[in-house]
Structure 1
């Protein structure tokens, strides 16, 4: 998984972006590009979070 490039900390970083797009959408993108190499594979932790309906940050 590629993280950190172009995600300023004051905007919440890459984890905030993933929360905003939704873990299911993020996983779909990972699967779309998985053929390009391991850098695009989603970690098991994120798959587990998506299955459990969790997010990185609490929602208001």
Structure 2
């Protein structure tokens, strides 16, 4: 895994934790369940990361991306 891919994964994890803690109030306010648009944004972010990693793996093997 290249440095840029590792940076993207770390950024996705940090942003996911930030969204989760900020949305639910975990640790600093009354707990609220995740809202649908929070879940939607997390799914889009992780799907984009997975697609980017998949395209990069195909390009590394020499296939057309």
Normalised TM-score (structure 2): 0.33
User: Larger C-alpha radius of gyration, 1 or 2?
Assistant: 2
Higher RCO by CA contacts (8 Å cutoff, separation 6 or greater) = 1
Higher-helix-fraction structure? 2
